[in-house]
């Protein structure tokens, strides 16, 4: 099993809408059209191209993001479901970006849990779990080393923005699903299936990406694995223009004082299938 930290960050940040990874199981009742099929200006293929172009354009001007997140991990083999709620912070910095996922509310099968943090400071990736009073850290980059977390073809956990349209189309078959009753408001539903030659194909079945038409970023990401037995959903309920370039500061990524009391464990970054070329 891949490390919990990598699984969680990948599930939240693994989206292609600038993200990367994807999965699928047929979309019931959805009319789908392959993205690489030529079409007229009003065709689904043309709309897919427009959405991916807008995603790339939005990322080109991105400085930071601040928004709420709800993450649900549904294990249909063990009949277990975990829910985590909190916030996401992302800031473009040199040589590498910073991001923080802080879950201040967690629940497993109806039982309330403790806080969890996932922090990347441009060099080290930290996973802090209040329940066990422990911080686990992994070095992703040497001091001054630049790594491309936006590279869906090589990054340990590509981020959900910053992806080029051509890279997405090279790694995934993208289709446009008809609107569903449970879709987030004002979104287009892209279904992304990893191509057989893509590294994502080995571990992921499908990615469902619900892209807001106003901000051109995903407000819901659904990742399906192992034939539908594991489904992870990340919702960003308050994502809006106010969430983007919101004035996030480097100080927002300071480690919480409570971590000083936690045991610190340093782990070597173990390559997984996702991080292999």
> Half-sphere exposure of residue 271, counting CA atoms within 13 Å on the CB side?
7
pLDDT band at 211 (very low <50, low <70, confident <90, very high): very high
d(CA 269, CA 189): 34
List, for residues 7-57, the tens digit of each pLDDT value: 445 444 443 222 322 222 222 222 233 344 444 556 888 999 999 898 888
CA 263 to CA 39: how far, in whole Å? 57
Instruction: Note the pLDDT tens digit of each residue in 125-150.
Output: 999 999 999 999 999 889 999 987 65
pLDDT (average), residues 65-74: 94
Residue 27: partners with Cβ closer than 8 Å, 6 or more residues away: 175, 177, 178, 189, 191, 208
Report the 10 Å Cβ neighbour count for 195: 14
Could you tell me the domains of the chain?
A: 4-269 (2.50.20.10)
CB 208 within 8 A of CB 46: no
Tens digits of per-residue pLDDT, 82-115? 999 999 999 999 999 999 999 999 999 999 999 9
- 47 neighbors 211 (Cβ within 8 angstroms): no
Answer whether residue 176 shows pLDDT above 70: yes
């Amino acid at each position: 099993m891949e490390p919990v930290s990598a699984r969680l960050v990948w599930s939240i940040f693994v989206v292609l809408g600038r993200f990367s990874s994807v999965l699928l199981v047929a979309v019931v009742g959805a009319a789908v059209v392959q993205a690489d099929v030529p079409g007229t200006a009003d065709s689904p293929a043309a709309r897919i191209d427009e959405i991916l172009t807008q995603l790339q354009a939005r990322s080109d001007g991105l400085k930071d993001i601040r928004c709420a997140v709800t993450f649900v991990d549904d294990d249909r083999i063990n009949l277990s479901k975990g829910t985590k709620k909190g916030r996401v912070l992302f800031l473009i910095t040199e040589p590498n970006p910073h991001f923080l996922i802080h879950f201040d509310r967690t629940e497993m099968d109806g039982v309330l849990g403790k806080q969890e943090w996932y922090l990347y400071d441009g060099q080290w990736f930290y996973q802090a779990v209040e329940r066990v009073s422990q911080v686990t850290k992994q070095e992703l980059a040497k001091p001054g080393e630049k790594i491309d977390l936006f590279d869906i073809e090589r990054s340990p956990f590509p981020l959900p923005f910053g992806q080029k349209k051509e890279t997405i189309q090279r790694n995934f078959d993208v289709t446009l699903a008809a609107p569903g009753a449970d879709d987030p408001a004002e979104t287009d539903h892209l279904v992304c299936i990893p191509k057989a030659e893509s590294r994502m194909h080995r571990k992921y079945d499908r990615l469902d990406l619900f892209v807001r038409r106003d901000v051109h970023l995903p407000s819901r990401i659904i990742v399906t694995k192992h034939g539908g037995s594991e489904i992870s959903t990340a919702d960003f309920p308050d994502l809006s223009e106010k969430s983007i370039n919101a004035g996030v500061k480097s100080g927002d990524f300071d480690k919480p004082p409570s971590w000083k009391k936690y045991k610190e464990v340093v782990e070597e970054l173990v390559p997984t299938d996702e991080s292999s070329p």
